[in-house]
Amino acid sequence: MTARVERWPIAGAFVIARGAKTEAVVVVVELTEGSHRGRGEAVPYARYGETADGALAQIELVRTALEAGADRAALQALLPPGAARNALDCALWDLEAKQAGVRAWTLAGRERLDPVKTCYTLSLASADEMAEVALAHARWPLLKLKIGAADHLDRVAAVRAAAPRTRLVVDANEALTFDELTRLAPEFARLEVKLLEQPLPAAEDAALEGYASPVPLCADESLHTRAELAACARRYAAVNIKLDKAGGLTEALALKAEAQALGLEIMAGCMVATSLAMAPALLIAQGARYVDLDGPLLLARDREPRLPISGALIEPPPAELWG
């Protein structure tokens, strides 16, 4: 097992309510057995108390167990959900697929992996700047725009005017109060916003119980694993499943199945990262109502080989990349 930190420059800056960043800091794990190699990539996220060094330390804690043969099932108990477990879990999926001579989706019980259409994310900026980016992507089937500063409605209205035909998702990243939500949601509905993601801080979203939002609400920061699912089902219409939050593809697949059984819509989400991190998330994106796997499109460059992406369309990964 080897593990390392990589830094990938972002094209410009990626700005959300909590701040801005100019590079994607990822942890990459490689597991080698004989002639076969499996890889996984994850993003340690400060919002959840993670750092790159901390993720590497967690990975080292399970080196002996992994090199002694611990599999994906054992890994779930060895580490908590988060970036470290995600990198290891995805590497184990990749290694197992290569050893078996099949694709990873076959191991997951799928006959094939279908192409999906991802949204394009608009960083938080002035209304005019966001409208300019929206205009350049007005033919995309789905745009996701970040809000979090003042003048939330002005930004959404400007994007809607610039892209009148596309579906819109608004992502607040926990930046609204309940009073702001109840004031803004009818206006977002008027602007035909299809989904409002994580309006309230996760610690305060119990206030959503009993609230009939005119725009469907989606849990992001409030949902990591199946442990939070019951509460989210009382508060949200949809859930954003990210491998980094779930701690890998293994938990994310189980989370998706249980969420669908509860009648929740699925968003397949991501952190800003390379194609290696997006490839396993394509399994979560199968049949999802919303797909947000545009991480590589926000980078100044991607790794090679990369996911085949043409506009909004993401094709299945080459085996040399993952799975």
What tens digit of pLDDT does each residue of 203-258 get?
Answer: 999 999 999 999 999 999 999 999 999 999 999 999 999 999 999 999 999 999 99
- Listed in sequence order, the residues at least 6 apart from 19 whose beta carbon sits closer than 8 Å to its beta carbon are none
In angstroms, the Cα distances linking 40 to 11, 18, 184, 245, 279 are 23, 27, 40, 15, 10
Residue spans in the chain of domains classed CATH 3.20.20.120: 116-314
Q: Which of 144, 194, 242, 256 is catalytic?
A: 242
Q: Are 54 and 80 in contact (CB under 8 A)?
A: no
* CATH superfamily of the domain spanning 116-314: Enolase-like C-terminal domain (3.20.20.120)
pTM, full prediction = 0.96
What DSSP string describes 195-249?
EEE--S-GGGGGGGTT---SS-EEESTT-SSGGGHHHHHHH-SEEEE-HHHHTSH
Strands 2-16 and 19-33: antiparallel
CA–CA gap between residue 323 and residue 317 (Å, rounded) = 8
Give the pLDDT confidence of 125-177 residue by residue, as tens digits: 999 999 999 999 999 999 999 998 778 899 999 999 999 999 999 999 999 99
- Listed in sequence order, the residues at least 6 apart from 234 whose beta carbon sits closer than 8 Å to its beta carbon are 209
Q: Which of 146, 194, 245, 256 is catalytic?
A: 146
Identify residue 226 by its one-letter amino acid code.
R
Using a 10 angstrom Cβ sphere, with 0-12 exposed, 13-18 middle and 19 or more buried, the burial of residue 93 is: buried
Give the pLDDT confidence of 52-108 residue by residue, as tens digits: 999 999 999 999 999 999 999 999 999 999 999 999 999 999 999 999 999 999 999
The CATH number of 2-104 is 3.30.390.10
List phi, psi (to 5°) of 67.
Answer: -70, -15
146 catalytic, yes or no? Answer: yes
242 catalytic, yes or no? Answer: yes
Residue spans in the chain of domains classed CATH 3.30.390.10: 2-104
CA–CA gap between residue 118 and residue 203 (Å, rounded) = 29
pLDDT in the model for residue 201: 97
- Listed in sequence order, the residues at least 6 apart from 227 whose beta carbon sits closer than 8 Å to its beta carbon are none
